Amino acid sequence: MRKFHITKVLAALLLSASAAQAADLRIGLQDDIDIIDPDRSRAFVNRIVFTSFCDTLIDIDQNMNYVPRLATEWSWGDGNKSLTMKIRDDATFHDGTPVNAEAIKYNLERSKNLEGSLRRSEIAAVDTVDVVDEHTVKLNLSRPDSTLISQLSGWAGMIISPAAAEKGDFSKEPACSGPYKFVERVQNDKIVFDKYENYWNADQYHFDRLTFMPIPDATVRMANLRAGSLDVIERMSPTDIEIIEGDKESSIVKADGLGYQGFMINLTKGSGAEKSTIAKDARLRQALSISIDRNVIAEVVGANAFLPASMPFPPTSFAYDERFEIKRDVEKARALIKEAGFDRVPVEIQFTNTTQQQQIYELVQAMAAEAGFDVSLRAVEFTGLQASMKEGNFQASQAGWAGRVDPDGNIAHYIMCKGTLNDSGFCSEKVDTALQAARETTDTAERKKHYAVVQEVLSEEVPQVFLYFQPWIYGVRNEVSNFRAYPDGMIRLDGVTKAN
């Protein structure tokens, strides 16, 4: 890992500050993307990149209101069992083919039926899709789903070119309908996009070229920003905020987030579960969770910018319930371990090889040791972490989520029995029933009751340990104007400019 960081430092210092012209924007990412395909992607960083590449049907604004994107308007019918959407008539894909109702139908059916699609559970309620006319599409639902608008503002609403998808491997020649079109990707180095001149809102996008550069080390990202080699960096370390605030050439832009960071525990999948001690007894998982002082992580690593998390719902969500807040209790953790028949409990936790995550999991390791856990740590590349989670080759793994406006998006796909991101293998009929009931009503008080049932089960079974709510902290060069931070952590570049 040390060799990797040294290499990155040297590479970063070789970036030419003069190479980025006013018409170009360079953005430093914490991670590299996994695959260029919205239906197969599982990484948050992909959504950051795809926001400039693939328009969604619906978007959100800085106040978390749903706003039009490819869909100009929408309405519910048939007792909330159908959703009719008007599609804008001036949008085209990067390959020149039209964005129309047929294309929307194709995309939704692909998300449901494509082998390996991670969007399937997100739009499971969509039964059939009708083309009403060239620019009107009707989604027929098997049951009411109050979360559908939220889903269509995220992954499931990203619309790709059917013609490009039908060529075979979409990720090799991808075409969407966003303001920037794909040029090239060099793994672990850069993802490059050029402006799409025929974009329906092209006059609001002022860069000829976007270059996203994955640089896992936060210190190196910041050094590139200060040198002028990068124009924007995302997910800054909170401990570096003071440095940028004291820098005359850059500034901080930030927003409270909707998502969280923590770690998932493999209960049933693959070799990781077979080797795991904590997978076999919920008392051990409870003990591990309560051995951790989340306030210490927020203060030491988060410089008080992190908000401690005991659940998937931040305090701003109607689903938040203070009854499920977790306080550290080492004595109770020891008692649970003893009750389960152990003196010491081994567990391996994997995490991405960034400085921040290293610090977090070293704290987790030390705190858990006091309760009776022998935690071994495994730092891996981000893409390697994603692969091992998919394969079940882990005991516990760092797992984060950017968050959604609707609380369903913060939990369902991770813990429902058929959730497409359920890497723990957790399955509870009680949880599935409660989550489904929450989807079928728009009454927030009723929905909160259902989410409380979910959290009661999660507090007993502990398939996932939540550590902190993620703020979105950006470093931005002063030449860049009108850059805004959003609660979902996406980078939206409409109206953003850069001076010579």
User: 294: helix, coil or strand?
Assistant: helix
Residues 412 and 454: their CA atoms lie apart, in Å, by: 10
Query: What is the pLDDT, as a whole number, of residue 22?
Result: 54
pLDDT tens figures, 107-145: 999 999 999 999 999 999 999 999 999 999 999 999 999
* pLDDT surpassing 70 at residue 389: yes
Contact (CB, 8 A) for 42 and 118: yes
Residue 10 CB contacts under 8 Å (≥ 6 apart), including other chains: none
3-state secondary structure 453-471: HHHHHHHHHCCEEEEEECC
Q: What is the signed CA dihedral for 59, 61, 65, 67, rounded to 10 degrees?
A: -40
Residues in the chain: 500
Tokens of 282: 């919920």
Which CATH code of 3.90.76.10, 3.40.50.1950, 3.30.70.20, 3.30.420.40 fits the domain covering 58-161? 3.90.76.10
Residues 469 and 261: their CA atoms lie apart, in Å, by: 6
pLDDT tens figures, 18-59: 444 458 999 999 999 999 999 999 899 999 999 999 999 999
Contacts 24+ apart (CB under 8 A), 327-331: 327/290, 328/290, 328/291, 328/292, 328/293, 328/294, 328/367, 329/290, 330/291, 330/370, 330/371
Q: What kind of architecture, by CATH, is found in domain 2-30+179-256+472-498?
A: 3-Layer(aba) Sandwich (3.40)
Handedness of CA 159, 201, 171, 38 (dihedral sign): negative
Residues 115 and 110: their CA atoms lie apart, in Å, by: 9
Tokens of 171: 């990720």
Residue spans per domain, the chain: 2-30+179-256+472-498, 58-161, 260-469
pLDDT tens figures, 431-457: 999 999 999 999 999 999 999 999 999
Residues 420 and 285: their CA atoms lie apart, in Å, by: 23
Homologous superfamily of 260-469 in CATH? Answer: Dipeptide-binding Protein; Domain 3 (3.10.105.10)
Query: What is the pLDDT, as a whole number, of residue 168?
Result: 85
Contact (CB, 8 A) for 337 and 371: yes
Residues 393 and 397: their CA atoms lie apart, in Å, by: 10
Give first-to-last CA distance, the chain, whole Å: 37
* pLDDT surpassing 80 at residue 15: no
User: Of 257, 247, 254, nearest to 47 (Cα)?
Assistant: 257
pLDDT tens figures, 238-253: 999 999 999 999 999 9
Segment 160-183 shows an average pLDDT of 96
Segment 380-404 shows an average pLDDT of 93
Percent of the chain with pLDDT over 90: 92
User: Of 292, 376, 371, 374, nearest to 338 (Cα)?
Assistant: 371
- Per the listing, tokens 């559970």 go with 121
Query: What is the pLDDT, as a whole number, of residue 402?
Result: 87
